[in-house]
Amino acid sequence: MAGSILSYRQEDSVRLHCEIDLEQLFPATNKRGRKRFEKKWNDFLESDSCNKEIFELKGDQLKYQSEQLIPSKPDDRTPLLLILGNPASHSVKEGMFFSFEGDKKEHRFWKNILKPAGVLSFSYDDKLSYEKLNELRKKQLLELNYKSPFQIGLCVYISIPSASSKKRNVHSSKDFSGFSGIQKLVGSKAMQQLEKEEQKRVLECAQKFFTPKGVAVAFQKNAWNGLKSDKDISYSIDDARNGKLKGTLKNAPNIPLIGVPPTRRPGPCSEMLRQLLEERGYSLPKNNM
């Protein structure tokens, strides 16, 4: 992947090492964007205490850690690729998707979205520390040791981490949380270029995971718009809530793509995930799985 804006390699079972060539992301036609990026960089770095451990900026090279979990163990269950927006910095540092939220509590993604949807359930002692729980969950995902009609894979649409939305202060000029925080850092013009590179990465990830059957789920607006086929409708929150985001993955007409409400709305997100999968003929266990 030499010569591209974005290059990446899988460092271990979850960590993805990424590098962005800023000279290519901000070409001569976008010098103003590069200056704006450099002006905002320190504030972005300070926006989450974990950022200094996962980012390194040297000249034109921005290096950072991200996340992607695709099991390599064979399985006869249908692959289900869960495509999130962008990683939370603290989860990247911990080495596991949705490592915790709030006061080191189990993240809603696992207990309030996937489990009640009938998509994924783990066996574990809920008294474990979040560190041990993260390691156990990672091991179970990699070894396919969980209750689910599917083989689960996880990836992000934009690889750059940022502060979680829980830390968001919409009135602060130094707020760089969530997906919008990345666009705030790089600017809309560079973001369009970056999305093209990230789209290729996600489609490559999907191609390796699907065998060739499978289902992809987009949990975020840009992920849906960037990965849907041309004939599919564009994202709206109302369509996400009403189960209308149904299509196929770009350049893969045999792979269904469904879009669900954002994870910050766990109830609607879980309900729509279950509904859309059941509409495709999958039999999901009851909410007490």
* Residues 8-31 pLDDT 10s: 999 999 999 999 999 999 999 999
Look up the CATH number of the domain holding residue 119.
3.40.470.10
218 and 146 within one domain: yes
259 and 160 within one domain: yes
Residue 285 lies in a domain: no
List, for residues 74-99, the tens digit of each pLDDT value.
Answer: 899 999 999 999 999 999 999 999 99
Are 269 and 219 in contact, with CB atoms under 8 Å apart? yes
Give residue 166's pLDDT band: very low, low, confident or very high (50, 70, 90): low
81 and 97 within one domain: yes
Q: Which stretch of DSSP H or E encloses residue 83?
A: strand 78-84
Q: Which of 45, 66, 87 corresponds to the end of one domain? A: 66
Are 17 and 11 in contact, with CB atoms under 8 Å apart? yes
Q: What is the mean pLDDT of the chain?
A: 93
Q: What is the mean pLDDT of residues 170-190?
A: 86
- pTM for the structure as a whole: 0.94
Give residue 171's pLDDT band: very low, low, confident or very high (50, 70, 90): very low
Domain that holds residue 196: 70-279
Residue 12 lies in a domain: yes
Residue 227 lies in a domain: yes
Tell me the β-bridge partners of 22. Answer: none
Half-sphere exposure in the Cβ direction for 46 (13 Å, CA) = 8
Residue 287 lies in a domain: no
Residue 24 lies in a domain: yes
Residue 289 lies in a domain: no
87 and 62 within one domain: no
75 and 13 within one domain: no
Is residue 114 scored above 70 in pLDDT? yes
175 and 101 within one domain: yes
Is residue 43 scored above 90 in pLDDT? yes
Number of domains comprising the chain: 2
Q: What is the mean pLDDT of residues 173-195?
A: 93
